[in-house]
Structures are given as structure tokens and as C-alpha cells.
Structure 1
Amino acid sequence: MKRFTPYPQWRTDCLQGGAFAHLNALFALEQYHDWPSLSELNQHQLVNAQGLAIEFIANSEFELDGRYYEQFIYETGKVPTRSENWHDLFGAYIWRLFPKTKALLNRLHIEEMALQTCSKRSKTRNALTLFDECAVVLAVSDPSWITAFRQHQWQEVFVERKEQWQHSIRAYTFGHANYEMLTQPFIGLTGKALFIDVDADIFCKDLSAQYRYLDARLYEMIAEQNVLADNSQLSPLPLLGVPGWYDDNVDPNFYANTDYFRPKRRNTK
């Protein structure tokens, strides 16, 4: 499997694919000739769970502080952002796309840390971290999609029902690590899907409205329905299989690679 090594310099050619279509539509990344500045990232009015204004700051300020990353954000509203770093850049954009959910995840980390009685991380904290880094929200207006994905019916969801994408199902990246790795896509790249039932008319709304709606729904699902109590609600999602996200997947034979598009493991007991 290819080892992922992030690009050290700013380049927009790696942001051309369909996986980045939403970011380009909402933030016009292709306009930049160099890394977006902190002042540009801070053109928003976001708050954390304590009502403190979210401010993206140089990572050096955090390094001198000594507090845990999530604690620092919760207590100050400041989000450490490394210079010329894809991971942190995409993290900043996810804050802007899902502000309520990001603030909630930050608060839940703090609450879980307060309950922690040993050095071992709780199942909830593991789920929060996995979601934060690797999640893709799959909004579906037909629940049969959920069953097919959970049964790893890759031919069905990616080939047989390809034309239904964008109409009864749509993918929204939440995990900023996904975006980082998609700048250099490789076979094996897999995210974690969380399904949200929606009415089909959501896909007719403008993109910003779609994100506002999904942010509110995610907040409700996590805060009230406790879907991230553990990892059980997250399903594997081969990211390069999503229609439009990878040039090679226009060929149906692309999905014949069972090392990547793995069948559901059956319980033989």
C-alpha cells in the first residue's frame, strides 16, 4: 500500500477532483496562489461550546501553552493552525462548514476527559476522534442505501445505482484527514460513513443551506441520540469509489479489486 506523504507546498492541481468540489464552490480554493492566511481563515463568526469566538491562530502560541489540544480550544476559543499544513487548513474549513458539530465534539472530549479514571481512552473518545478525522456524512433519501453500504454491496451502490448519486444520496466530507489524503489519492484510502436520513428536496437547496441543515442534524444525532457512544454507527467507505471522486472509477472494472472493495466479513460461528 502506498505511504501517504503530504505535499509540502501549496498547489491547486491536487484540488481539482470531485472530492473537493464543495470546498471549491464555497471557498474558491483555486483563487489562491499561496496558502490562505490566518486572517483569511478567520473571516467568519463562529463560537465554541462556551460561546467564545473561534480564532485560528499560529500553532506556536499553542506549543508554548502546555494544555491539551481540545482543552485549549474549549477554554480559549483559539484553534492552533500549523503554517502551510494541509491537515490544519482543511480542519479550519470543516469548522466553518460544521460549526455546531465541531463545537459539540470539542465539548464532548472535555466531558469524557473529566470522567476518565485511567490512561486508557474511552470508546466515546475514540469514536469522536475517528469521526473528526475520517468521517463522511452520507445523506440518503432512500434507506435502502444504508443496508447496501453496511452489507458492503459495492457493485450495487457504486455501479448499479451510480446514476442515483446526487439525487437520492450525496456525500459530504467531515473528516479533515480525508481531505488531506485525497490530495494524493491511493488505493486503500478508506473513510468512515455516518448515514443521515433526509428528504430528497434537501439536494435542491443551495450548498450552504445543505451544510447548515446537516450541521444541525449531526448535532442532534450526536448530542441527543448518542450515535458516537462508540464506533458501531460508522461504516467503512472506500473513498475512491464515490462517483466523481476519482477518475479511474468511471470504469466498472475498478470495483473488481476485492482487496480494496472488500466483501462483508461473515460470522462463521
Structure 2
Amino acid sequence: MSPAALAGLTLFEPIAGLLARFPFARLPDAAALTALLAEVAPAAVAGSGLPIRFTLPPAGDIAYEAHIHATGQVPTRADDWHDFFNALAWCVWPTSKAACNALHLREQQARHAAGLPGRGPLRDALTQFDECGIVVVSSDPAIPAHLARHEWEAAFWHRRQRLADTTRFLVFGHGSWDQLRAPFVGLCAKALYRVVEPGWLALPDAERQRDTDAWLADRLTGQPFGKADLFPLPLLGVPGVTPHSESPDYYRDTRQFRPLRAAHRGKVHTRL
């Protein structure tokens, strides 16, 4: 499969134009990806402000985020889909990726100064979102509310046309794009929800993406962030991802469309 073959698939929209540039099965190397970044996101920098470049991983073990922060170099394995998608994420989410990198280092230094062991909950949440995050943007507040309450059939089936008219699913996590090459039952992302005015939907795709990138960076840095802020979202429930979703019975399969636990129902409203 070539990257271009993925360009028209649901949930690859943020990087569709970039995927279409690569019609061959072999993935572009780190130098080609650096050239692409320089073209589409020339201001992309690490959390330290150093320009981002994609390079082969250095020998030996490294502290991944610290290495990026200190050098601007993003370790990128040759012909590796996971790292390829990470490079494309830097191309379309440059502000948010830089914010994540800065937060990792800030938290690492703060924990070290306080004598605290381990990575801590903030870094764990950032890594999880970096791998499988998605921003769900809607002009209809009812859609995020249904999804956050695990009312899957209500959102994905009964309001299917309303969902298509008002809501965009913008994948951030490069791990999710990698998994979507061969979707499997139970494939789940971690969602942040954003409600916008209807006029946002009329903006060109590239402008919507830039605006969401800026919003996400502010969301990550402007208020406390942790795993409790992320909502599970079964990706195979999004219309268009799989033909199996063309039936209401599909959304009653609790292997992936799990009901919200009773203990969590009262907490959903405050997290949205």
C-alpha cells in the first residue's frame, strides 16, 4: 500500500493532501520529510524553539522528548509507517506538537526539582494523546454531549446526517493513523471536544486545521490537562470508516460501543 492510497479514507483528512504526494509503496526518507516540513510548516519548532528536522535515530537509548527539545531532531526510522505518520503530524499540527514537547520538558524538570520519581500523570496523558488523540469539532453541542456520554447510537446513527453536517473528526495521534491502515474491532482514540460557531465549518480545510492547531495548543497549555480530560471514542463508529457501520445494530455491539459506567455519568458534564 502506498501513502497516496490512504488519502481518500475517512479520518485521514488532516494529512490527505500530504499523503497524495507519495504514490509509491516505499516511504519517504527523513531528508524528504524534512523538506516537506520546510515547505508546509516552515515555522515548526521544538518546545525549545529549535527548528524541527527528521533524522535517523541516534545509536543507543535516548530520552525521546528531551532529545527533540535539545536538538530539534525528531528520530525517524527508515521506511517506518509509525514514524512517517509522526512526521506528517508535525506538518499539520506544528503548534500543538511544539506545545507537547515543551510541556514534557517543563514537567520533567519540575518533577526532578521536587524529587518526584517517574514520568507523572501529565506526561503520561501527553504521550497517550500524542499516540491516539483526536479533536472532535462540532457546531452542535448535542453531538459532543452524546459521544461523551457513550450514547453511540444516538450520535452515530440517529443523528447521522446532523453529524455529517456539523462535526469534523481531526486525528492528532500518529499511532491512530498507523492503526487505521488495518482497522480492527475495538480501535479507540482519546478525544477532546470543541464546540464552534457554524461559520467555522465554511472555512477552507487548511484554515480549519490551522485554527484547530492553535486551539489545541492553547487547550494543552492554558489549563490543567490529564487523562481525565480525554474521552474514549471508538473510531470504527465514525461514519465512513467501515461499511459495517451502515446499520443501527452495529452500534449495539458492546465489544467496542461500551455504555458509560454509572459512576462516571455525573462527571461528564464538568469535563466537556
2:77 match: 82
* Amino acid in structure 1 at the alignment position of 2:174: H
**8 Å Cα contact 1:104/1:219 also seen in 2:** yes
Alignment of 1:1-269 (within 5 A): 13=5, 17-29=9-21, 31-42=23-34, 43=36, 44=38, 45=42, 46-59=44-57, 62-64=58-60, 67-116=62-111, 117-226=115-224, 228=225, 230-267=226-263
Conserved 8 A contact 1:18-1:245: yes
Secondary structure of the residue aligned to 1:52 is: coil
Q: Secondary structure at the match of 1:56?
A: strand
Residue identity opposite 1:85 in structure 2? D
Q: Output the amino acid matched with 1:75.
A: A
Q: Which moved more, 1:9-18 or 1:148-157?
A: 9-18
TM-score (normalised: structure 1): 0.88
* Cα drift, residue 191 of structure 1: 0.6
Give the 3 Å change call, closer, same or farther, for CA 191–54 of structure 1 in structure 2: same
The 2-side partners of 1:254 and 1:88 are apart by 33
Which residue is 2:268 aligned to?
Answer: none
Match of 1:6 in 2: none
AA partner of residue 74 (structure 1):
H
The one-character-per-residue Cα deviations of 1:122-169 (angstroms, maximum 9, x if unpaired) are: 111111111111111000112222221121000111001111234211
Q: CA distance change for structure 1 residues 233 and 71 in 2, over 3 Å: closer, same or farther?
A: same
Separation of aligned partners in 1, 2:25 and 2:181: 17
Q: Which is helix-richer, 1 or 2?
A: 2
Aligned-CA RMSD value: 2.0
Deviations 1:42-72 (A, max 9, x none): 122122222211001112xx235x5411011
Question: d(CA) in 2 for partners of 1:171 and 1:217?
Answer: 15
Q: Is residue 89–residue 172 contact of structure 2 (8 Å, CA) maintained in 1?
A: yes
Q: CA deviation at 1:118?
A: 3.5
Size of the aligned set, in residue pairs, is: 255
Q: What stretches of structure 1 of length at least 5 have no aligned partner?
A: 1-8
Q: Which amino acid aligns with 2:218?
A: E
- Residues 132, 94 of structure 1: CA spacing in aligned structure 2 closer, same or farther, 3 A cutoff? same
Moved more, 239-248 or 74-83: 239-248
Work out the CA distance in 2 between the residues paired with 1:63 and 1:166: 47
CA distance in 2, matches of 1:201, 1:39: 39
Q: Kindly tell me: are residues 77 and 11 of structure 1, through their superposed partners in 2, closer, same or farther at Cα, counting changes over 3 Å?
A: closer
**1:137, 1:194 within 8 Å by CA — same for their partners in 2?**
yes
Specify the SS of the correspondent of 2:229.
coil
Indicate if the aligned counterparts of 1:141 and 1:199 stay in contact, CA closer than 8 A: yes
Over the matched positions of the two proteins, sequence identity in percent amounts to 33
Check conservation: 1:189, 1:238, Cα contact below 8 A: yes
The unaligned stretches of length 5 or more in structure 2 are 265-272
What is the distance in 2 between the residues matched to 1:256 and 1:23?
31
TM superposition score normalised by structure 2 = 0.87
